[in-house]
Structure 1
Amino acid sequence: MLPLVALLAATPWGDMAALVADPAVVEALRLSVVTAACTTVVCLVVGVPLAWVLARDDVPGGRLVRSLVTVPLVLPPVVGGVALLLLLGRRGLLGSRLDAWFGVTVPFTSVAVVLAQVFVALPFLVLTVEGALRGADRRRALVAETLGASPAYVLRRVTLPSVAPGVAAGAALCFTRALGEFGATVTFAGNFPGTTRTVPLAVYLAMDAAPEQAVAMSVLLLVVSVAVLVAMRGRWVGGLPGRGRTRRGDR
């Protein structure tokens, strides 16, 4: 907590409103929120089915896939940005073909910001949802299957509603992680105002030119992140593995 105390102590509270209302800050915040929201949607679409697969013990190579999913957690974000650039850059493994065949350039665009955020934030959602699935009571799903329900129906109407708190918790973690992403973004997407300059990049630039504004933006990010986590607190606790309780009526 000491670094946060130091940050709050250095905050120019009297000028906070004016510093945050600066058009450049508003634009960076808007881009950060929009890209983080898009990242969360992409991670939900990709991550929830992936977590469901990893939660099954009969999937061949599940441990290997889980290890690969967690690599971005230990990989320096800037290395992830370099890897994305070598994959989707104009001379990259896939990027050269996208440019030659379709004229599509991914790096240094808002799409690149989303992809960089997805790379670093997806493991948070997958691991959280997988833990919720493993900790969920599977008896209802088994009963539904014995009554003739298809696997897709069981997943949609039984399994997912039971782990909704875990999915919400994973989405919250994914959103806040995407909101604060810096290394992969600056390497793969660049730092262009209105296109790729999110709040973390704006903070980095302001540290030399306008330190007070950098502190104000840092506090703004802190407030948004804490607000998201506080709003999801009940769902987070409910979605933790091992937190499920068996009611008397289910025994």
Structure 2
Amino acid sequence: MTTLADAAPTRHRDPLGRPPALLVVPAVLAVLLLTVPLVALVGQTDWPGLPARLATPALREALWLSVLTSTLAIGACLLLGLPLAWLLAKVDFRGRGLVRALITVPLVLPPVVAGIALRAAFGRSGWLGEPVLDLTGFAFPYTTWGVVLAHTFVCLPFVVISIEGGFRSAGSQYDAAAATLGAGRWTTFRRVTVPLALPGIVAGTVLGWARSLGEFGATITFNGNYPGTTQTMPTLIYVARQSDAETAQALSLVMLAISVLVLVALRDRWLGTVRS
């Protein structure tokens, strides 16, 4: 006869023993440090007044500009970054380590420095900006295209590294098999490499888009903060914080909601991979 105790599932015991408090306590503190500010943001929001604060032309304008520039930037990142990620992952060439090191510099560069560097290169008197201005009459700074350029500069290394990881995780044995069947490198890239690495490419693209949506420092340094032209959601929050803290908090809640939606969209790729 099966008793209740027999039917109850047995708890798995770690053969290594209980985790030490010296590791558990800092881990718990780390979780609290990362989650308490987000919970506080939600808890302190003026929910009854939230619809009125969000139904403003400035928010709609900044949100549309953020989505537009981030989408254009991630398109540029894919156009440039997908071949670069493939080159770093699949081609053994001299100086590959140096190239990888150079493209990761913007990841650790202070955002304000990134904006100043962009101005030195693409400003009206910059190395590339001045010839372009002389030839076409167009200048990047203080324009929507300048925002796209700043977002692309900041997000391209992130997208390249993410997609390179996807190419590497797909392995090279299928590429080699395609080559033995007579497929050239371009055909192998289109028909074998990209489909196998597609989950990593999609994940890197979505995360890069979300990173672009939150870009602030390089954008405001290179382009200023002009409503309808260069004022994105982060720069609008920055301005609102100086005059109306509750509005800034409501706008921040929108960005938090978008971040959560990105995580939900990638749950099978990122969260699902850590299940035991």
Task: Indicate if the aligned counterparts of 1:55 and 1:134 stay in contact, CA closer than 8 A.
Answer: yes
Following superposition of structure 1 onto structure 2, how do residues 134-173 of structure 1 map, counting pairs within 5 Å?
Answer: 134-173=168-207
Following superposition of structure 1 onto structure 2, how do residues 158-237 of structure 1 map, counting pairs within 5 Å?
Answer: 158-236=192-270
Listed as ranges, the gaps of 5+ residues in structure 2 are 1-34
Three-state SS of the structure 2 residue aligned to 1:148 is coil
Work out the CA distance in 2 between the residues paired with 1:96 and 1:86: 10
Q: Give the fraction of aligned pairs with identical amino acids, expressed as a percent.
A: 49
Work out the CA distance in 1 between the residues paired with 2:65 and 2:175: 41
Per the TM alignment, residue 164 of structure 1 is displaced from its structure 2 partner at its CA by: 0.3
Listed as ranges, the gaps of 5+ residues in structure 1 are 244-251
1:11 maps onto 2:45 in alignment: yes
* Match 2:87 to one of 38, 42, 53: 53
Three-state SS of the structure 1 residue aligned to 2:48 is helix
Work out the CA distance in 1 between the residues paired with 2:68 and 2:245: 25
1:131 maps onto 2:170 in alignment: no
TM-score (norm 1): 0.92
Aligned length: 240
CA deviation map 1:43-64 (0-9, x unaligned)? 0111111000111351211111
- The structure whose Rg is larger is 2
1:64 maps onto 2:98 in alignment: yes
TM-score (norm 2): 0.84
Work out the CA distance in 2 between the residues paired with 1:231 and 1:124: 19
The equivalent of 1:38 in structure 2 is 72
1:21 maps onto 2:55 in alignment: yes
Q: Are residues 233 and 130 of structure 1, via their aligned partners in 2, closer, same or farther at CA, if it must alter by over 3 Å?
A: same
Per the TM alignment, residue 147 of structure 1 is displaced from its structure 2 partner at its CA by: 0.6
Task: Indicate if the aligned counterparts of 1:168 and 1:235 stay in contact, CA closer than 8 A.
Answer: no
Structure 1 residue runs of 4 or more that deviate by more than 2 Å after TM superposition? 235-238
Higher-RCO chain (CA-CA 8 Å, sequence separation at least 6): 1
